[in-house]
Amino acid sequence: MYDAERTKYLERNGFEATRLKAVLFDMDGVLFDSMPNHARSWAQVCTEFGLTMTPDEAYLHEGRTGAATINLLARREWGRDATPEEIARIYDEKCRLFNACPEAPRMPGAADVLRRVKDAGLTIVVVTGSGQRSLIDRLEHNYPGFFHRSLMVTSFDVRHGKPDPEPYLLGLERAGVQPWEALVVENAPLGVEAGAAAKVFTVAVNTGPIPPEVLTRSGADLVLPSMAALADTWGDIYSTFA
Ligand code: CA
């Protein structure tokens, strides 16, 4: 069913065939419906520090490190780089606001996707720009039995965050697979760019307010409207890429 998408992917990357062994999942906006909290806390901290970011803009920056996001806004609105002190103050406050938000619920459909991927015998990897130390506990609590500490890439593990391919390249390495043996599941333009730059077939699940064309332009090989849609179509995806 996805033969056309697979052929395009193989041609673009110069690969011969796919042989699915692992699925690399982004976390925020894919496994957890956490983006409304991020978007709200970014909008609020910007207002407090004399910068502006609408909640919708926050979705476009999703996946960028906090420091890079703050610097981008400072250049745009102050006409200069933010100092390390400013970055630390703003980012600390953003984290404080985010942590005060109610805990993000599981993304609808995500548990079904994980179940199907696991039942197919594939390796599950989490590749997130997040740097919360309690990450694995939270994953284990919400999705018991699917994740392993050694199969996670967080902001502590990489020098360059998304859209650099480094996080996904490290995810492939941890799973012990090649790019044509994996899929990336992402929701944000910068994350999609990172997956495509790592030469992995990248499925964008559009769980936020972004027009789907933006995800296609960022390099998504396939755009689906939700994790529930990915669960529904998993059989076709698996039979195409296995
Ligand atoms: Ca995300």
Nearest one of 137, 216, 230 to 185, comparing CA atoms: 230
Query: Distance between CA 152 and CA 137 in Å, rounded?
Result: 12
Report, in angstroms and rounded to the nearest whole number, the Rg of the chain calculated over CA atoms: 18
Q: What's the gap in Å between 86 CA and the centre of ligand 1?
A: 25
Is the model's pLDDT at 198 over the cut of 80? yes
Q: What's the gap in Å between 119 CA and the centre of ligand 1?
A: 24
Query: Distance between CA 33 and CA 186 in Å, rounded?
Result: 13
Alpha helices in 103-226 (DSSP H): 110-119, 135-142, 166-175, 189-197, 212-217
161 touches 64 (CB < 8 A)? yes
pTM score > 0.85 for this model?
yes
Q: What's the gap in Å between 8 CA and the centre of ligand 1?
A: 25
Q: What's the gap in Å between 185 CA and the centre of ligand 1?
A: 9
Nearest one of 116, 138, 104, 133 to 183, comparing CA atoms: 116
Q: What's the gap in Å between 32 CA and the centre of ligand 1?
A: 9
24 touches 125 (CB < 8 A)? yes
pLDDT in tens, 148-196: 999 999 888 998 888 999 999 999 999 999 999 999 999 999 999 999 9
